[in-house]
Amino acid sequence: MACVGVFSVVLFLLRDETLPAVTALLALVIIWLGLVPVFLYLRQTREERPPFPLMPLSGLFYAAFFGLPAFFAFRLRDPETGKINFFGNGYVDAISLEAQALVIGGMALMWAAYAGSKRTIWRSIPHLGLQRAFSLPRLQVLLWGLALGHLAYLYSPVVRALPSAGQFLQPVGYLAFGMFYLLWCRGDLPRWQAAVVFLVVLPLALVAVLTTGAMAIPVLILIFFAVLYLRVRGRPPWLVIVAIPVFFLVAYPTTTYYRGHAWGAAGQGMTTVEKAQTFVRAVISTYGSVDRGRFDRETVGLVRRVALILTLTHVVDKTPDPVPYWGGETYKPLFTSMIPRAVWPGKPEERTGNAFGRRYGILAETERQLSFNLPWITEMYANFGRAGVILGMALVGLLFGFLERFLARPGMTALEFVTGTTILLPLFFQESNFSLMTGSLLPLTVSLWLYFTVGLRVPLPGFRFLRRL
């Protein structure tokens, strides 16, 4: 805590001259408010802690994306107009004090609703119950099915084209590798399986993930294994915690070069090996060059990536005049997003990010492909203004209290813990609209419950063979 205090003082004293003192102080309040659930979580005993730190991670998200960027937003100022250009056609004069106050109030309401609901309305709800008595070979067969299915999704266009395949096969990679890791830590994973998983299958999956050019997924993977380490060792993996921001800071400047080659028309026919080679060239081009100007431009892109407080400022400045309140339009997909595309092949694709960018003039009106992230709290304001933030953040706190009691309760088995962690992992990273991030929550939960409930009970071939290995 003392280190955070010193860091806060340094940030405030060394802030850019264009950042007013009151704006800097409110940014520090957001950072500290985001760190409160982290400090409280670490003070709990190992037995008291929820196995997945949903609220601490949510707090870190708001601290990193709505608090800290205030001190670096000066890098985005247009030298001619003096305005902050946070993306494309999106400009703001300065960070809005109202936007900062909304974040502070919204966070406080979320924490209060979360803590209060756990002790009252959600206190007696049952948790996700999975089979507790089963043979290890049976579990290993099921985990191999998930791991290989995940690998097939990453490498096979045919598998990716299957309706609803991504909703199940993409997240189950976390579950498979996480459970293999816990079995290995307990000495319950045969050496040959450990070798194949950690020296072949997992590296192949990581290569495929890195070559997508999306930085959020590798960061989520690091966080996922940090949570597993905390479960096994009972203490935070400080090396991994330090590695997460370092990885993001080092890797992000390479993305412009890489995406320009791998995401364009030329990249459509690239194999994973060719994409990996392009990724290596991107790293060499960024850090092996003496072009300091280019490196500075890439780091400016990093500030744009994390400065979600600027998006909220833009929406607060323009709503309800000249842009009227959206009136809940972005939440309508909630009623259909939980229906798998395999059941409804003609289900409309969700384009909220594109509609948001065009509505607020961030994207050109003729742009129909590019999407711009709409964070939860910004979405609340765009739809219903201040009342939307007050009610919406309180409801998020209630939802998180329920999900934690159902999916991340102390005393769960290892399989229940990893399953719950897989389902909850993306929810703290609230940078995209609500229905997009939560639409697959119920189908994924039901699918995994059925997968293990049936798979751990119904006789399957191969168990006798696996017992001999």
Per-residue pLDDT in tens (0 to 9) along the chain, 469 residues: 678 788 888 888 988 899 999 999 999 999 999 999 999 998 888 888 899 999 999 999 999 999 999 999 998 998 888 899 988 888 999 999 999 999 999 999 999 999 999 888 988 888 888 887 788 888 999 999 999 999 999 988 889 888 778 889 999 999 999 999 999 999 999 999 999 999 999 999 988 887 776 777 888 888 999 999 988 888 888 887 787 777 777 777 676 666 656 555 555 566 666 666 676 766 666 666 555 555 556 667 778 888 999 999 999 999 999 999 999 999 988 877 777 776 776 677 778 888 999 999 998 888 878 888 999 999 999 999 999 999 999 999 999 999 999 999 888 899 999 999 999 999 999 999 999 899 889 999 999 999 999 988 876 555 554 455 4
Q: Can you give the pTM of this predicted structure?
A: 0.90
**Pairing relationship of beta strands 84-87 and 90-92 according to DSSP bridges:** antiparallel
Q: What is the pLDDT of residue 289?
A: 57
Here the tokens at position 38 are 């982290």
Instruction: Provide the number of structural domains found in the chain.
Output: 1
* Nearest Cα residue to 168 out of 145, 185, 202, 191: 145
Rounded to 5°, angle at Cα 107 from 307 and 128? 105
Task: Compute how many other C-beta atoms are within 10 angstroms of the C-beta atom of residue 468.
Answer: 6
Q: What is the pLDDT of residue 272?
A: 65
Q: Helix, strand or coil for residue 379?
A: helix
* Structural domain range at position 452: 2-467
Here the tokens at position 67 are 């608090």
Farthest CA pair distance, the chain: 73
